[in-house]
Each structure stands twice: as structure tokens, then as C-alpha cells.
Amino acid sequence: MNIVVLGSGGWGTAAAMLLSDNGHTVALWSHDPKKAELLDKTRENPLLKGVRIPERIAVTSDLAVLQNAEMAVFASPSFALRSVAHEAAPHLKKGTLLVSLTKGIERGTHLRMSEIIAQECGEGYRIAVLSGPSHAEEVARRLPTGCVAASADQASAEAVQRAFMNEVFRVYTHDDVVGVELAGALKNVAALCCGISDGCGMGDNTRALLITRALSEISRLAECMGGRKETLAGLAGMGDLIVTCTSMHSRNHRAGILIGQGKSVQEAMDEVGAVVEGYYAARSAHELAQRYGVEMPISTAVYEVLYEGKSAAPLIGVLMSRTPKKESDCSWLRIKSEGQSPSLLKKFNFVLCRAVRVSGQLDTHYVQRIFLTRMSSEKSNWIIFGAHVVRKMICAVRGANMGYFAEKTIFGVDNAANSGYTIRAFQRQQVRFVS
């Protein structure tokens, strides 16, 4: 396969080497002609010291190399992805598989990286993402690594799997693009918090607490935005979170340590000497938490340190002094059962989550328009009401045919006999159901 990797940072270079090892014809593109020339001459990326770039990998700054590409791999920093995709678009041929290796959320728009690529490149392309615990330093040295290839199109995910997978790089496929991308972006915020904790002299217990609770709050937001909680339990979620929060290869963890030791945010990022994606993701996480009404105390605390000038020293104490909670929060997109049919309840909860996931853009454009008033079980059956809401949501994004089909096929007539629920929901830029 003819493959072009767009982005000559550590991860882009490591990915190009991996793909070349697998027998593909690979070109590594850099936006900087001088950097491309240097890489081509020295055959070593300063971010991957001691690792030689094979001669068979062409290094270039000319986007014309994309004209014959069957796969274009985007590996630029999140803040640069839009401009790279915009510049690349005119050179791509229709049908090219576009793969995002970039982890982040765009500031302002809150778009995921695959959404930016789709927006800039237009229609006619297959899109997938590759994410997981994959430090470039270790991938380049061919240390065993596992990742997830996610796409709404199974064939595209499998194509990425075939292209990247070998005896030292294992790839699993997934269909939850939202969950995979949000996990990859938001784990960087948690890594900053763990780094701050380590820099303040906290121990392993504290780090384990932060990692676990960070996973919980990321899961809440991901599910609200259309992802699935189970995705966060896998390689793209827990796997990437662990490695980013514990490894000195992690720029975010290192930056957090420096901040915890008393350095300013800018001093910490300057000392790391490379892009600290968590800095940008922290603002997006804070804004998304506010938009959806999702409680994300760790992300909020990191945001306050990075952007509001709060001292890092009291951060852990503030988190520890929060109101007592139950570990499991079952209220999110759920209806509590009060002696009603567990199977029906489970089915209804599943469909609600699936509707949000399928419709994709409900978060910003459509859910805000849905105001659910208090429903009395004596006046309205909850299944019928739920089916109606699901249909409205899906119709808004995917069209009437899909909406009405979902209502008819997912909710059977027999379900109408079940009642006994009072449904309340509030319009806070999200949908939440409680008994």
C-alpha cells in the first residue's frame, strides 16, 4: 500500500517506520522544508534519539506526494491538524483512507480530530482513528504495543488493522469512534493532574485514586457525547490513561511534575520542549463539562491551575475534601427502577444511549431543543414517550426514515402495556432521566 504520514514529530516518524516495516511504500511529510531536509540527511528524529529512519522512507515537504496515496495518516499536533488537513485536501484522491493518529479536541469548536478531517477534506473519503497506549519512543524501538483502530465503517477499521499490525504492534478494531477519540484526548488532562500530584510529593495511592476517578469522569462525558462506557475500559481508555499518567515518556505527566514542583505553567511547557496536549485539552474538557452539565472535578481542578492561576499545592486537598459520594453513579442516562420490568428498563436505557450515539451531533444542535416536561405515569406511558423522544432525536440528525424505523423496530407494541414511571428531564444542554 502507498501510504503518506502527515507530521514528522515523534509519533509520525515512529508510525512511518512501523508501516515501512510492514512492507508498505511510505513517505513522511513535514510542514517545514528545512526539517524535512534535515531528517532526510541525518536519518534521525531528535525526538527519537538513537533510532535510525530507514532509507526506504521518503522524507518530503511537498504535499504532491499525496496524489498516489491509498492511505493518508494524520499525525500532526491537535492545534495544527485543521491547517494540515486543509492543505492536504486538494492533493487527495477520492476513496483514500484517512487515518487520524492525533489525540485532542479543537479549541472553540470542540470537534474531535476525525470530525476536523472530515470537515476539511469533504465527502468521498473513508475515515478512521488509531489510538491507545503508544509512546513513540517505544514503538520506534519495536517494543510490544497494542492500539485500537476505530471507524464507523468496519472495513475501514480492518484496513487500518491490516496496515499497522505486526508481531510487535497489535491492533484491535472498534466502532465507537467518539469514545476512542475522547479517551485519547482527555487522558492527557488526567496525566497533568497525576504529574502535579507526583511533583507535590504524593504517593502511589494518590496516583491510583486520580487515575481511577479520572476514568470515571471521562466515561461520564464520553457517554453523554455519544460514546460507550465499555470503550473506556479498554486499550483506548484505561490502557492509554495508565501509561500517560505513569510514564516519563509522557509529556503531560512530566509537565505536571514540574508544575507540582513550583514552576509556572509556561516554564513547565518550555522545559518539556514539545507539545503538551493536555494544556489545550484541559480548556476543552472544562467547557464541555459545563455544556453537558457533567461533574468533572479532576479536569476542573487542572483547568483552574492552568488557566486561572490557582496554586497547584492545594489541588489534591481540594479534591479529597469533596462531598462524600457513592463510587457508582447509575443516574446518567438512566431511569431508576421502582419494581418495574428489569428487561424493559434495560432495553429503554440501552436505546437512549444508542440514540445519542447514532445521531452523533445531538450534543450541540438538537438536544438543546428537546425540553422534556414532567410526565405522569397515569397520563402517559413511559415506553411510548421514550420511543417518541428517540424518534425525534434521530430524525433531527439522520432523517425521518431512520427515526421512524427506530421507533417501530426497537419499541414493540407489547411494550406499551408497561407503565408506572414518572419521567423528569431538564434542558441543561444534555438529556438526563431520573425516576
What are the catalytic residues? 187
Contact 162, 149 (CB under 8 A): no
Q: What is the distance between the alpha carbons of residues 110 and 101, in angstroms, rounded to a whole number?
A: 17
Place of cell 491551575: 305
Nine-digit cell string for 194? 497525576
Contact 287, 280 (CB under 8 A): no
Sheet holding 145-150, edge to edge: 58-60, 25-29, 2-6, 71-74, 97-100, 126-131, 145-150, 169-174
What sign does the dihedral 268-269-273-278 (CA atoms) show?
positive
Among the listed residues 26, 80, 88, 42, the one whose alpha carbon sits nearest the alpha carbon of residue 62: 88
Q: What is the distance between the alpha carbons of residues 270 and 274, in angstroms, rounded to a whole number?
A: 8
β partners of residue 71: 3, 97
Among the listed residues 163, 160, 169, the one whose alpha carbon sits nearest the alpha carbon of residue 130: 160
275: which residues sit within 8 A by CB, 6+ positions away?
9, 77, 79, 251
Count of Cβ atoms closer than 10 Å to residue 360 Cβ? 17
